[in-house]
Structure 1
Amino acid sequence: MKHDRFKPAAGTLRTRVFQVIFESDTPLAKGFDIVLIGIILTSVLVVMLESVPALRDAYGPWFRRLEWGFTLLFTAELLVRLYCLERPWQYLRSFYGIIDVVAILPTWLALVLPGAQSLVVVRLLRTLRVFRVLRLMEFVGEGRLLIDALKRSGRQIFLFLFTVCMLITIFASLVYLIEPAEAGFTSIPASIYWAAVTLTTVGYGDIAPVTPLGQSISVMVMLIGYSIIAVPTGVFSAEVIRSIRADRYSEEACPGCGHDHHEKRARYCLRCGTWLDETTPDPRTLDEKTPRE
């Protein structure tokens, strides 16, 4: 798979480097990407282990050396990427270019801002290159279906969330008036926190009603939460199914019987066998008109 947006700079060496770094059609290029992803995951693991106090006290200097080693390696890799491109600034403004820059900035910023190196976990975003390595870009089409479904169900989901926010505010205000401050309901915002936790059936238990009326309202809020929690899932699922059908099936009616639910790749009607493409002649008719020797 090639990056059509980026072109190699002039020169045989730069072209070869470009093919290794930006393409995955050869074993060498695929191996480079797999090794790079492995190094990225290892660097993120080092940062995560360094956040454990016991490990940091025992192996802190080693973690810092490894982190600087990874940072220098990724910096060199970015410079090589820019070296082999015809327009380096175009890559720096791209999605992967921004991620590559952000991935090495935290460690360099740590020289000025102590503690900034913990932000290197953003390097995990660079593993998105696995889609190119494993040739999974066809899943982008599936992601497009989900995005289309979200756009189509946006109004319904917004109305649902607005209704939920109204219910949370109403129940929170009621419980705030009923419950004493000693129970944790010191303000309406605190009560909104309780109502949101209760309505979503999470139930942390850090704030709970103590009066019989407040407990009765809690039961009502939980039952309402169980009743409406599946609403956005159903709306979104329906839109996903609709998007899949729109992407797979055609709405053009058959000229023979009028049936309008054919796959887009279908050439003949499923019911009557009529040729569907009215702009071109039926190959069977042409075969019948062709004289045989």
Structure 2
Amino acid sequence: MRQFYYPDSRNTEGIRHKLFHIIFGYQQRNSIIFDMSLVIAILLSVAVLMVDSLNQDYNSLLFRLDWFFTLLFTIEYITRLWVVRDPMRYARSFYGVIDLLAILPTYIALLFPESGIQYLAVIRILRILRVFDVLHMHRYQRETSILIDAFSNCWRKVLVFLVGVITIIIIFGTFLYIIEGPEYGFTNIPTSMYWALISVSTVGYGDISPATPFGQFIASILVLIGYGIIAVPTGIYSAQVYQSLSKQKDGRACQECSLRGHDADAKFCRRCGYELKDISHHETSKDKTKQV
């Protein structure tokens, strides 16, 4: 729990202090029950929205259920603002914004009942990210940092690749617009670019397709190009992940089994459990031995 979330520490027996530890804590039994109940309520509310979109005969029941969950999350959101020491700071945080966006669509739908904006409340599914704290999955923060570090190091390469793909889409889309024309569905260049995009990605919906022999020949070339380049961003990112993993390994060798490649903060060998020595001390001893 972040320090600025704490309520007034002088009143440790008050209802505000107790609610704070139940809502924002994750070690006490009551906190775990609260968080897991919240996750279940979120999943049920999203399921209600999905079923409601089917336009079945029981829309009135689903409408009541949707408002039940909305009011429940509204009370929870107000309670969160009440128990924290700095409500505005929490409201501007990631979870605070998500909590607000989870309830706003239903209220906005009262002003625009035919817009279907209430279905945007499915964004509340993001609230189950709190389960990472409940299940102590924050221990995997290192693995997450590896993926983020890999992306930050290779985004320029991926950007260059995307620019190249967009260039290919523009060129081939224009070709098909000229060759096929509106007669076969290629009514304008943006529509032709849409066809080129789904073709180069090898999806091929089939809603638009060339009919002339020359247009089909161009389409075949584009599909082959798509097969050739579809693995490029995956390869770039995979290579960068491997490099990021290598950076977090050190060169210490276990003095018992000679295994290398341990984590930088490892204290014991992952194979035999022997205590790892400091690399600088180990290398210094080796240098001294060579000099002698």
Structure-2-length-normalised TM-score = 0.83
C-alpha deviation, 1:211, in angstroms: 1.8
Distance (whole Å) between structure 2 residues aligned to residue 199 and residue 121 of structure 1: 32
The answer to whether the Cα contact below 8 Å between 2:4 and 2:85 also exists between their aligned partners in 1 is no
The answer to whether the Cα contact below 8 Å between 1:107 and 1:120 also exists between their aligned partners in 2 is yes
Distance (whole Å) between structure 2 residues aligned to residue 72 and residue 267 of structure 1: 52
Letter in 2 for 1:44: V
Residue 257 of structure 1 is matched in structure 2 by none
Residue 94 of structure 2 is matched in structure 1 by 95
Distance (whole Å) between structure 2 residues aligned to residue 61 and residue 267 of structure 1: 62
C-alpha deviation, 1:107, in angstroms: 2.1
Letter in 1 for 2:124: R
C-alpha deviation, 1:5, in angstroms: 4.0
Distance (whole Å) between structure 1 residues aligned to residue 236 and residue 205 of structure 2: 28
C-alpha deviation, 1:240, in angstroms: 0.6
Structure 2 residue 15 is the aligned partner of structure 1 residue 3: no
Percent of residue pairs bearing the same amino acid type:
42
Larger Rg: 1
SS at the partner of 1:202? Answer: coil
Distance (whole Å) between structure 1 residues aligned to residue 64 and residue 261 of structure 2: 63
The answer to whether the Cα contact below 8 Å between 1:179 and 1:209 also exists between their aligned partners in 2 is yes
Q: 1:89 to 1:195 in 2, by over 3 A?
A: same
Letter in 2 for 1:43: S
Deviations 1:104-152 (A, max 9, x none): 2222223322243222211111111111111111233222211111111
Distance (whole Å) between structure 1 residues aligned to residue 148 and residue 211 of structure 2: 44
Q: 1:128 to 1:175 in 2, by over 3 A?
A: same
Letter in 1 for 2:21: Q
Residue 288 of structure 2 is matched in structure 1 by none
The answer to whether the Cα contact below 8 Å between 1:168 and 1:196 also exists between their aligned partners in 2 is yes
Q: 1:38 to 1:262 in 2, by over 3 A?
A: closer
C-alpha deviation, 1:16, in angstroms: 1.5
Letter in 2 for 1:207: I
Residue 203 of structure 1 is matched in structure 2 by 204
Within the candidate set 276, 280, 287, 1:277 is matched to 280
When structure 1 is superposed on structure 2, of 83-92 and 111-120 the one drifting more is 111-120
Distance (whole Å) between structure 2 residues aligned to residue 8 and residue 267 of structure 1: 41
Unaligned runs of 5+ in 2: 254-259, 270-275, 286-292
Residue 48 of structure 2 is matched in structure 1 by 46
C-alpha deviation, 1:274, in angstroms: 7.8
Residue 256 of structure 2 is matched in structure 1 by none
Residue 35 of structure 1 is matched in structure 2 by 37
Distance (whole Å) between structure 2 residues aligned to residue 70 and residue 235 of structure 1: 44
C-alpha deviation, 1:275, in angstroms: 5.2
Residue 126 of structure 1 is matched in structure 2 by 127
After superposition, residues 5-154 of structure 1 pair within 5 angstroms as 5-9=4-8, 10-11=10-11, 12-13=13-14, 14-53=16-55, 55=56, 58-114=57-113, 115-154=116-155
- Please give the root-mean-square deviation of Cα atoms over the aligned residues, in Å: 2.8
Letter in 2 for 1:87: D
Residue 241 of structure 1 is matched in structure 2 by 242
When structure 1 is superposed on structure 2, of 81-90 and 18-27 the one drifting more is 81-90
Q: 1:107 to 1:178 in 2, by over 3 A?
A: closer
The answer to whether the Cα contact below 8 Å between 1:267 and 1:277 also exists between their aligned partners in 2 is no
Residue 164 of structure 1 is matched in structure 2 by 165
C-alpha deviation, 1:187, in angstroms: 2.1
- For this pair of structures, how many residues does the alignment match? 269
Structure-1-length-normalised TM-score = 0.83
Letter in 2 for 1:276: I
Distance (whole Å) between structure 2 residues aligned to residue 261 and residue 29 of structure 1: 39
Residue 250 of structure 2 is matched in structure 1 by 250
The answer to whether the Cα contact below 8 Å between 2:4 and 2:86 also exists between their aligned partners in 1 is no
Distance (whole Å) between structure 1 residues aligned to residue 142 and residue 128 of structure 2: 19
Unaligned runs of 5+ in 1: 254-259, 283-293
